[in-house]
């Protein structure tokens, strides 16, 4: 069974739980029995037909998966090996993780270290790996805790939540721009409302770096208030993919605007990011922001994401209890 988005003759899209169509494997293909998956913003986009990456339907959703090889037509992947799959078209152009079985091939899956539990690998997921890539980029830009606060927008979501936990563990002061409450507010963490658009070309310099998941005017206002020489990372477009950007922050303050796309990062580096996230986030800290749901609960949680009412990470238990 898998959660599949189908396009109706009316042009609308519908999420349905349907039998997985398992066909004979081709050479190089691997059949994975999925244990856990997770929910991400992209799943809600695919369900509404608004994910530009998904060109054909039906499409099984789920951009992350962890499971065990049940059949393999690739001699490098032995039956019984545990694999993790993160993005790489999973759930958008390839059969996703919200299914009892999925077919993959070398290049997409990672063999997970024995020390990392399946549950934690999905709690981190694509969102956590993206957060880790941002943290590494902030550090390699030469930004240190003494440089000043790091702004995170859409901070209640998976990427923002995990990034803020990591930065806090590294001693950075974080400022979380969020519509919701419930985020930890302590000496190293400040909560502010979402950034508003402004007609000023520049604002007082505040942030040493920014991790923006919203795009649109949030990104523009963040750029206007970043310190000279600072770094702004654009990772998402929950607000809007378009913005009215001027060159002032770049020309007058020498700010760097950089994009992060996890799919452009090779498996070797993804493995390092996974180790980095695992080491930095003790289970008891990370799991405080993780909701574990059952397979049949998926439509309800996808709906919460679509309505902007979802926060933290949601892991889906896919395998039926033994
Ligand atoms: N570049 C990459 O490789 C990569 C990888 C993973 C994800 N992404 C992208 O990063 C973005 C965030 O992903 P995520 O997994 O963190 O998503 P998520 O868990 O669904 O969180 C999105 C957050 O955005 C805020 N939000 C939701 N609706 C909003 C609205 N209408 N207006 C303003 N804010 C709203 C909410 O935060 P508050 O409640 O705090 O306001 C929400 O928790 C998405 O665009 C996703 O596609 C990119």
Are 159 and 202 in the same domain? yes
Would you say the C-alpha torsion 110, 116, 117, 121 has a positive or negative sign? Answer: negative
Q: Exposure string (b/e) for 26-57, b if CB count within 10 Å is 16 or more?
A: eeebbbbebbbbbbbbbbbbbbebebeebeee
Residue 183 has pLDDT above 70, yes or no: no
* Domain of residue 199, residue span: 127-262
Are 186 and 80 in the same domain? no
Regarding the beta carbon of 126 and ligand 1, being less than 6 Å apart is answered yes
Q: How confident is the model at residue 186 (pLDDT cuts 50, 70, 90)?
A: low
Are 167 and 199 in the same domain? yes
Residue nearest to atom 8 of ligand 1 (CA): 236
Are 65 and 174 in the same domain? no
Angle ∠(52,55,57) on CA atoms, nearest 5: 125
Structure tokens at 30: 């691997």
Give CA–CA dist 64/126, Å, rounded.
7
Are 300 and 240 in the same domain? no
Mean pLDDT in residue range 165-191: 85
Are 258 and 148 in the same domain? yes
Regarding the beta carbon of 37 and ligand 1, being less than 6 Å apart is answered no
Q: How confident is the model at residue 180 (pLDDT cuts 50, 70, 90)?
A: confident
Give CA–CA dist 239/72, Å, rounded.
42
* Residue 273 located in a structural domain: no
Atom nearest to 179 CA in ligand 1? 41
Residue 117 has pLDDT above 80, yes or no: yes
Q: What is the pLDDT of residue 264?
A: 94
Are 108 and 140 in the same domain? no
Mean pLDDT in residue range 107-115: 93
Residue nearest to atom 20 of ligand 1 (CA): 41
Q: How confident is the model at residue 195 (pLDDT cuts 50, 70, 90)?
A: very high
Percent of the chain with pLDDT over 90: 89
Residue 242 has pLDDT above 60, yes or no: yes
Range scoring the smallest mean pLDDT among 55-59, 121-125, 229-233: 55-59
Residue 44 has pLDDT above 60, yes or no: yes
Residue 146 has pLDDT above 60, yes or no: yes
Angle ∠(24,28,34) on CA atoms, nearest 5: 70
Q: What is the CATH number of the domain that holds 85?
A: 3.90.180.10
Q: What is the pLDDT of residue 321?
A: 53
Mean pLDDT in residue range 202-207: 98
Are 133 and 258 in the same domain? yes
Are 131 and 258 in the same domain? yes
Residue nearest to atom 11 of ligand 1 (CA): 236
* Residue 72 located in a structural domain: yes
Q: What is the pLDDT of residue 322?
A: 55
Are 207 and 289 in the same domain? no
Ligand 1 pocket: which of 308, 310, 315, 316 to mutate (most atoms <8 Å of CB)? Answer: 308
Residue 62 has pLDDT above 70, yes or no: yes
Domain total of the chain: 2
Ligand 1 pocket: which of 40, 236, 261, 305 to mutate (most atoms <8 Å of CB)? Answer: 236
Q: How confident is the model at residue 20 (pLDDT cuts 50, 70, 90)?
A: confident
Q: What is the CATH number of the domain that holds 140?
A: 3.40.50.720
Would you mind telling me the total number of residues written for the chain in this entry? 322
Are 164 and 204 in the same domain? yes
* Residue 31 located in a structural domain: yes
Q: What is the mean pLDDT of the chain?
A: 94
Q: How confident is the model at residue 182 (pLDDT cuts 50, 70, 90)?
A: low
Mean pLDDT in residue range 103-120: 94
> How much is the pTM?
0.95
Mean pLDDT in residue range 88-96: 95
**Dist. CA 266 → ligand 1 center (Å):** 23
* Residue 293 located in a structural domain: yes
* Residue 121 located in a structural domain: no
Regarding the beta carbon of 213 and ligand 1, being less than 6 Å apart is answered yes
For 182-230, give the DSSP string: -S--STTEEEEPPPPP-S-S-----EEEEEESSBHHHHHHHHHTEEEEE
* Residue 175 located in a structural domain: yes
Residue 280 has pLDDT above 70, yes or no: yes
Are 134 and 83 in the same domain? no
* Residue 30 located in a structural domain: yes
Regarding the beta carbon of 40 and ligand 1, being less than 6 Å apart is answered yes
Residue 293 has pLDDT above 60, yes or no: yes
* Residue 217 located in a structural domain: yes
């Amino acid at each position: 069974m898998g959660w599949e988005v189908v396009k109706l003759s009316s042009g609308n899209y519908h999420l349905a739980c349907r039998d997985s169509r398992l066909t004979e494997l081709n050479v190089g293909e691997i059949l994975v029995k999925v244990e856990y998956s997770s929910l991400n913003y992209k799943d809600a986009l695919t369900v509404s037909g608004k994910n530009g990456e998904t060109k054909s339907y039906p499409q099984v959703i789920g951009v992350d998966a962890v499971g065990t090889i049940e059949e393999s037509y690739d001699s490098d992947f032995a039956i019984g090996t545990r694999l993790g799959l993160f993005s790489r078209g999973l759930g958008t152009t390839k059969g996703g993780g919200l299914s009892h079985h999925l077919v993959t091939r070398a290049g997409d899956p990672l063999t997970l270290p024995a020390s990392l539990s399946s549950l934690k690998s999905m709690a981190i997921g694509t969102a956590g790996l993206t957060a880790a890539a941002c943290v590494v980029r902030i550090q390699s830009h030469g930004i240190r805790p003494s440089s000043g606060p790091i702004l995170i927008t859409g901070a209640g979501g998976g990427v923002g939540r995990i990034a803020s936990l990591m930065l806090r563990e590294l001693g950075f002061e974080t400022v979380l721009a969020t519509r919701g409450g419930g985020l930890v507010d302590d000496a190293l963490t400040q909560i502010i409302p979402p950034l508003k658009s402004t007609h000023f070309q520049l604002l007082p310099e505040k942030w040493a770096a920014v991790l923006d998941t919203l795009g649109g005017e949030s990104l523009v206002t963040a750029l206007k208030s970043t310190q000279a020489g600072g770094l702004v990372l654009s990772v998402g477009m929950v607000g809007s993919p378009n913005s009215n950007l001027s060159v002032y922050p770049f020309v007058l303050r020498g700010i760097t605007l950089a994009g992060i796309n996890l799919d452009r990062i090779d498996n070797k580096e993804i493995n390092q990011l996974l180790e980095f996230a695992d080491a930095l986030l003790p289970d008891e800290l990370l799991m405080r922001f993780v909701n574990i749901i059952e397979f049949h609960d998926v439509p309800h949680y996808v709906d919460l994401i679509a309505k902007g009412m979802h926060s933290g990470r949601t892991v889906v238990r896919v395998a039926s209890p033994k």
